[in-house]
Amino acid sequence: MPSFSRLFLTAFALFLTITGLFAAEKPNIVWVVIEDMSAHFSSYGETTIQTPHIDRLAADGVKFTNAYVTAPVCSTCRSALVTGRYQTSIGAHHHRSGRGEMKIQLPSHVKLIPEYFQDAGYWTCNMGTPHGSPKLGKTDYNFEWDASVYNGSDWTDRKPGQPFFAQIQLHGGKLRSGKNWRERVKEKLGSVTDPANVQLPPYYPDDEVIRDDWAAYLDTVRWTDHEVGELIARLEKEQILDNTYIFLITDHGISHARGKQFCYQEGMHIPLIVHGPGLKTGTIRDDVVVQIDMAASSMGFAGIEIPANLESKNLFAEDYKPRDYVVSARDRCDETVDRIRGVTNGRFKYIRNFHHERPYLQPNAYKDAKQILIRLNELADAGKLSKYQMLQMADSRPQEELYDMQNDAWELKNLADDPYYSDMLDRMRGNLHEWIESTGDKGEQAEGEMFDSDMAVYLNTIKRRHPDRAAIIQRNIDQMKKWEAEGK
């Protein structure tokens, strides 16, 4: 009869084998988050350039055609993504807020998504490149948080067999503002995009400055595709691609006059590709989803219990029920106060401008310094813009906008005053009201002292880095306060 010690050792060895197999079966989760980029990939219909690596993920995985951000600007979008909740629900809805003396504390029931993965035994990391880096990748959260939610800036240091949850932050569209950008592109990719081949949206003029910028932007898309290729190659080399789910999104659309910071398609519509084991290849889904759905979906793949109060949906759950609509919310961006809500059901888009008496392009030092905005203003002053190109240059906005995106993909014809669409207008008004009430949209609340707190830090930072712009920002701050006093 075997001794007790021998039985114990045998049982312990069996336990190690079982737990080891269990750990090995847990999939890795990778989030690729790209800055300032719309869905200008070949797999989404872009023809001027080719994006073979991203297209491979789409062809071998699931491509969502109706994916949106909860906010068309980075810090608010990222604050929502890492919590699985709307930024408007947790008080993180103003871009770059909570940076001064006044801080934003998360509600006690809110945990960051990496924490759930750590609790489940995952190694968590936040990376600035597909190869890892000495420091964490971009976070840009508007609230106070503990950096220990990330174990490091790469998955290399994890224990043998330990699954990992990795966020990879790619600079995307921001790259085009870098020094010697075109020379770098030619050296790395062998060529640059010819501005003559660019196909501009009809709301932008056929102008050399605009074309050059768009071509430089498309090269950031090509560069990003190359980085995604490097990621795939690394996962293949480490023989873990087949046990890894990859989610690829952008943190909002292209940084342009009608894109970033706005609730038109150019600002709030994003790509979403999911690649991983067990997914039917070549799947195309047109249900409306938001970027925070990555949270619950990732937890579902990892076998982590999804909290009932998470505002994220598991897109791959057996009992998944598509949303009837999704909402994107824009609030203050830097010094520029605004409140815009965009609602879409995939076919129609409803936009509510709560500060409709203000210009579309309110004063904003960040955007106003861009050559494309400078050029648009020059062309507008010279009377060289068409009716549709003048839409974003107007001194005021409609209170409501309604677009049939199936028949008006560029959102040029506002149907809000058309009696034929009155039922749809009422329905989408109701959708927005329902969402505001059910999610506790904090955008209705006056910002108060937080604005002054944030602006003090912003001004001090600008004085150090760009002293010539400090007076401009102060003038913009004064303008915001003047409009508020006037009830605009």
Q: Per residue in 323-380, pLDDT tens?
A: 999 999 999 999 999 999 999 999 999 999 999 999 999 999 999 999 999 999 999 9
Which domain range does residue 120 map to? Answer: 18-321
Total domain count for the chain?
1
> Torsion angle of alpha carbons 172, 128, 32, 86, nearest 10°?
-90
pLDDT tier for residue 25 given thresholds of 50, 70 and 90: confident
pLDDT tier for residue 382 given thresholds of 50, 70 and 90: very high
Asked, for residue 464, whether it belongs to a domain, the answer is no
- pLDDT above 90: residue 185: yes
Report the CATH number at residue 288. 3.40.720.10
Asked, for residue 341, whether it belongs to a domain, the answer is no
- Average pLDDT of the residues of the chain: 94
Asked, for residue 218, whether it belongs to a domain, the answer is yes
The answer to whether the beta carbons of residues 325 and 318 sit under 8 Å apart is: no
Residue 54, classified by CB atoms within 10 Å of its CB into exposed (0-12), middle (13-18) or buried (19+), is: buried
> What stretches of 238-350 show up as alpha helix (H) in DSSP?
265-268, 293-302
The answer to whether the beta carbons of residues 461 and 454 sit under 8 Å apart is: no
Query: What is the predicted pLDDT for the residue at 17?
Result: 39
Query: What is the predicted pLDDT for the residue at 132?
Result: 83
Asked, for residue 310, whether it belongs to a domain, the answer is yes
pLDDT digits (tens, 9 = 90+) for 113-154: 999 999 999 999 999 999 988 899 999 999 999 999 999 999
- pLDDT above 70: residue 6: no
Asked, for residue 68, whether it belongs to a domain, the answer is yes
Round to whole Å and give the CA distance between 24 and 13: 16
Percent with pLDDT over 90 in the chain: 93
- pLDDT above 90: residue 485: yes
158 backbone dihedrals φ, ψ, rounded to 5°: -70, 165
pLDDT tier for residue 107 given thresholds of 50, 70 and 90: very high
The answer to whether the beta carbons of residues 249 and 44 sit under 8 Å apart is: no
Asked, for residue 482, whether it belongs to a domain, the answer is no
The whole-number average pLDDT for the span 180-184 is 97
Is 336 strand, coil or helix?
Answer: strand
Query: What is the predicted pLDDT for the residue at 20?
Result: 45
Asked, for residue 55, whether it belongs to a domain, the answer is yes
pLDDT digits (tens, 9 = 90+) for 247-264: 999 999 999 999 999 999
Q: Which residues of 184-221 are buried (b: 16+ CB within 10 A; e: fewer)?
A: ebeeeeeebbebeebeebebbbebebbbbbbbbbbbbb
Round to whole Å and give the CA distance between 475 and 470: 9
Model pTM score: 0.94
pLDDT tier for residue 231 given thresholds of 50, 70 and 90: very high
Is 46 strand, coil or helix?
Answer: coil
- pLDDT above 80: residue 19: no
Query: What is the predicted pLDDT for the residue at 89?
Result: 97
Q: How far apart are the first and last CA of the chain?
A: 88
Q: What is the chain's length?
A: 488
Query: What is the predicted pLDDT for the residue at 4?
Result: 43
Query: What is the predicted pLDDT for the residue at 15?
Result: 43
Asked, for residue 477, whether it belongs to a domain, the answer is no
Containing 352, the helix (H) or strand (E) segment is strand 348-353
